[in-house]
Chain A
Amino acid sequence: MFYREAGQFKTNYRDDLAIFPILQDRIAIGALLAFMFIVVPLIADDFWLNTVLIPTLIFALAAIGLNILTGYCGQLSLGTGGFMGVGAYSCYKLATIYPDVNIVILILLSGFFAAAVGVFFGLPSLRIKGFYLAVATLASQFFLEWAFGRIPWLYNYNDSGAIDGVNRSLFGIPLSEPYGAPYFQYLVVLTIVVVLTWIASNLIRGRYGRAWMAVRDMDIAAELIGIKLLRTKLLAFAVSSYYAGVAGAMMVFLSLGSAEVEVFDIFNASFPILFMIIIGGLGSLIGSFMGAAFITGLPILIRATPALVDLQVEAATAEHIQLMTTGALIIFFLIIEPHGLARLWHIGKQKLRVWPFPY
C-alpha cells in the first residue's frame, strides 16, 4: 500500500536510468544516509563506532570488491586479504614517502597499487576456471603474506615487523588512528564507502557490469557475442582489488592504528569476506553490507551473550563456542537461504509491494 510504484511514470531517459526509480526508495535511502551521517555520530559511543560500525563499513567495502569479482564476474577468489594488505602496505609507504599529502588521498591512491597487483594475479583466470582458479588465487594470498613478512622495506625496517599508524589530519582535525576521534574516522570511512558504493553500482549497471555478468553466466558464450575476455576479467580483478586495497588501507589507518601480516591472512580476511558475500548474497551490493554486518556483528554478539545472562565463561571456552556457533550458523543460513540475506530482502520488498494482498 505504501510501497508501490503505481502512478510514478518515467517520462524521460533520465528517470529510466535512475538508480532508485521508486520515490519511496529515494526517500528511504535519503533518510538512511541522513541517519548514518548525522544521527549516528551524535548518539553512538566509542565502543559502537570502533568495534561495530567502522569495521562493518570497511569490511563491506572489501566485500563489495569481492562481490564484483565473484558475484558479478564469476571468478572465485580467495585472495582478498592479500589485496587488502597491498593497499595497507602501499598506503604506509606512500605516507612515509610523501608526509605532506593528505591521508585520504593516499588511501584512495593506494588502491591503485592493489589493483595493479590484482591484475597481475588475475592473469591465470584466462586459462583456469572455477575451483582451480580459487586455489590459484591462494598463490597470491600466500605470496603476498610472505612478502609482507619478509621484505623489510615494506614495513620501513621496523623492529616489530608491523606497520604502525601515522599521525595525519584532515581539515586540521586529527584523523588517523590512534590520534583521531572515532566519530571523525567514522564519518570519513562512511563517506569513502558511500562514494565507492555509488561508483560500483553505476559500474555494475553499465556496460562493464553487463559484460562481467555475461562472463559469469558463461564465458564462452560471452566471448562469442564479442566480449573480450582478457579485458573484462582483468578489469574485474582490477576494480575488485582496488576496493579491497582501499578497504585494507582504511583498516590500518582509520581503524586498527597498526597492523601485522596476520590481519590480512586467509583466516582473518579472505575467508570472512567470502562468507560475507555468500551470506549477504552473491551479486548484490546491499547484500555485501548485510553480510559484513552479520559476520562482524556475530562474534561480538556471541561474546556479549554470556555476560547478559550472568554466565561466567572462560575466555578459551568462549572462543571455542564462538567458532562452533559461527560455523553452525553459516551452515544454517546457507540451508535456509542459499541466495543470501539479499534474497530475503527482495522477498520482503515484494511482499510489501502487494500488501495487503497475498500476491
Chain B
Amino acid sequence: MDWVLTLLNKLFVAPLVEIAGAPDLFIQVLWEGFVAGTLYSLIALGFVLIFKASGVFNFAQGIMVVFGALSLVGLYSLGIPAWAALALCIVIMFSLAWTVERVVLRPLVNQPDIILFMATIGLSSFLVGFGEFVFGGEPKTMITAELGLPSGSIDLAIAGGLVSLQKIDIAAALMSAVMVTGLAVFFNKTRIGRALRAVADDHQSALSVGITLQQIWVIVWFAAGVVALATGIMWGARSDVSFALEVVALKALPVLILGGFTSIPGAIIGGLIIGVSEKLAEFYWGPLVGGSIESWFPYFLALIFLWFRPQGLFGEKIIERV
C-alpha cells in the first residue's frame, strides 16, 4: 500500500504544497499559461470564423499565421517601411482569401466535409512551400520595434515575490481583446455581419434571401487572414518566425473541440483554459512522468470535457435524426 500513498502524494499533495509554498511562481506560471492561451484563442478564432460561415475545417489557419508573419518580415527586409509592409500584408491576406475562394472553395462546393478538409491541408502544404520559396526557409526575427510594439518587462511584487510580465505579452492580450470586441461588433451591428450570421445558420435560406455566398466566403477568409496576421505578429515577437510554428499551431485544435467549433466565446475561453492548464500541468505534474507533457495534455483535457459534452462547451447541441 505504500506505493499507492506515495503516488497519491506525488500526484495530489506535493504539487499543491509546491503551489502554496511559492505563490509568486504560481502566478508567473499562470500568466505564462494565460499568454499562451491568448495565442491559441486567436488561432482558434480565425478557425471558428471560417467554420461557422462555410463549414470548412480550415487546417491551414495555423499556417496562415506563419505565412502572414513571414510576409511581413520578408517585405520589411526588402526595404519597405514597416507600416507599408503591414498594409501590403493585409492586401496579401485579401488576395489569399480571394484566391482560395476562387481556386479551392468554388470548385469544391457541395463536396463532403472531409474533401474540403483535405483541400485545406493541401493548401497549407502549398503555403509552406510558397512562403519559404519566396522569403527563404531560415527562421527570422519579428520587426517588433519597427511596428511600435513595446519590449522589455515589468516586475510586479505579488505574494511576497517578483512576477515578471513581458510588455509584449500585455500588448498581445490587449490586442486580442480589442480584436474580439471588434469582431463581435462587426458580427452583431453591421450589414455584412448579419449576412455572415445568416450564412452560418443555414446556407440555403441565406441564399434565398439574396446573400451571395461567394462574397461572404471571401470576407470570412479575409477576416480570418487578418486575425492570422495579428496572431503572427504577436507570436513572432515571442519566438522566431518560421514554419516550425505549425506544430504549435496544432494546439488550436484541442481549443476548438473544447470550446465548440462554432462558438467565438468558446474559442476564447477554451484557449485560456487550455493555455493555463497545460502550463500548470507541465510545470507541476510534468516532471513526474519525464516532462514535455504539453504536447498531449491539452488533447486529453479536451477529451475529458468532450466525454460529457460531445459538442464542446459552447457548441450547438447536436440533434440527430434518422
Q: Given A124-B306, A132-B257, A335-B108, are A320 and B133 also a contact pair (CB < 8 Å)?
A: yes
Complex contact A327–B254 (CB within 8 A): no
Tell me the chain B residues, 139-154 only, with Cβ under 8 Å from chain A: none
Complex contact B129–A334 (CB within 8 A): no
Asked whether A220 is an interface residue with its Cβ less than 8 Å from the other chain, the reply is yes
- Residues in chain A near residue B293, CB distance under 8 A: 146
Interface stretch among B114-122, B180-188, B222-230? B114-122
Asked whether A14 is an interface residue with its Cβ less than 8 Å from the other chain, the reply is no
Most buried by A among B113, B122, B306: B122
Asked whether B25 is an interface residue with its Cβ less than 8 Å from the other chain, the reply is no
Tell me the chain B residues, 98-133 only, with Cβ under 8 Å from chain A: 103-104, 107-108, 111-115, 117-119, 121-130, 132-133
State in angstroms the CA–CA spacing of A129 and B318 once bound together. Answer: 10
Q: Given A131-B113, A220-B320, A320-B129, are A327 and B292 also a contact pair (CB < 8 Å)?
A: no
State in angstroms the CA–CA spacing of A156 and B321 once bound together. Answer: 52
Chain B: interface residue count, which band? 35 or more
Q: Given A278-B118, A322-B129, A331-B104, are A142 and B299 also a contact pair (CB < 8 Å)?
A: yes
Most buried by A among B124, B132, B296: B296
State in angstroms the CA–CA spacing of A130 and B322 once bound together. Answer: 17
Contact of A330 among B122, B256, B291, B300 (CB under 8 A): B122
Asked whether B302 is an interface residue with its Cβ less than 8 Å from the other chain, the reply is yes
Chain A: interface residue count, which band? 35 or more
Q: Given A135-B253, A330-B118, are A128 and B310 also a contact pair (CB < 8 Å)?
A: yes
Binary interface encoding of chain A residues 271-301 relative to chain B, with 1 for a CB under 8 A from any of its CBs, else 0: 1001100100010000000000000000000
- Residues in chain B near residue A145, CB distance under 8 A: 295-296
Residues in B lying within 8 Å of A, measured CB to CB: 57, 103-104, 107-108, 111-115, 117-119, 121-130, 132-133, 137, 250, 253-254, 256-257, 261, 289-293, 295-296, 299-300, 302-303, 306-307, 310-312, 318, 320-322
Query: Considering only CB atoms, which chain B residue lies closest to A147 in the complex?
Result: B296
6 A-B pairs with the lowest CB-CB distances in the bound complex, closest first? A327-B126, A323-B129, A324-B129, A139-B299, A327-B125, A330-B122
- Residues in chain A near residue B130, CB distance under 8 A: 320, 324
Complex contact B292–A146 (CB within 8 A): yes
Most buried by B among A136, A224, A316, A329: A136
Complex contact A76–B119 (CB within 8 A): no
Most buried by A among B103, B254, B300, B310: B310
- Residues in chain A near residue B291, CB distance under 8 A: 150
Complex contact A129–B121 (CB within 8 A): no
Asked whether A138 is an interface residue with its Cβ less than 8 Å from the other chain, the reply is yes
Complex contact B133–A317 (CB within 8 A): yes
Residues in A lying within 8 Å of B, measured CB to CB: 70, 76, 124, 127-132, 134-136, 138-139, 142-143, 145-146, 149-151, 218, 220-221, 224, 266, 271, 274-275, 278, 282, 316-317, 319-331, 334-335, 338
State in angstroms the CA–CA spacing of A322 and B306 once bound together. Answer: 38
- Residues in chain B near residue A271, CB distance under 8 A: 121
Contact of A274 among B118, B132, B295, B318 (CB under 8 A): B118
State in angstroms the CA–CA spacing of A131 and B104 once bound together. Answer: 20
State in angstroms the CA–CA spacing of A146 and B290 once bound together. Answer: 10
State in angstroms the CA–CA spacing of A330 and B123 once bound together. Answer: 9
- Measured between C-beta atoms, what is the minimum distance from A294 to chain B in Å? 13
Complex contact B250–A266 (CB within 8 A): yes
- Residues in chain A near residue B128, CB distance under 8 A: 323, 327
Beyond A127-B306, A139-B296, A320-B137, 11 additional contacts (C-beta under 8 Å) are: A135-B253, A143-B300, A150-B289, A275-B121, A320-B130, A323-B129, A324-B125, A324-B130, A331-B103, A331-B104, A335-B104
- Measured between C-beta atoms, what is the minimum distance from B107 to chain A in Å? 4
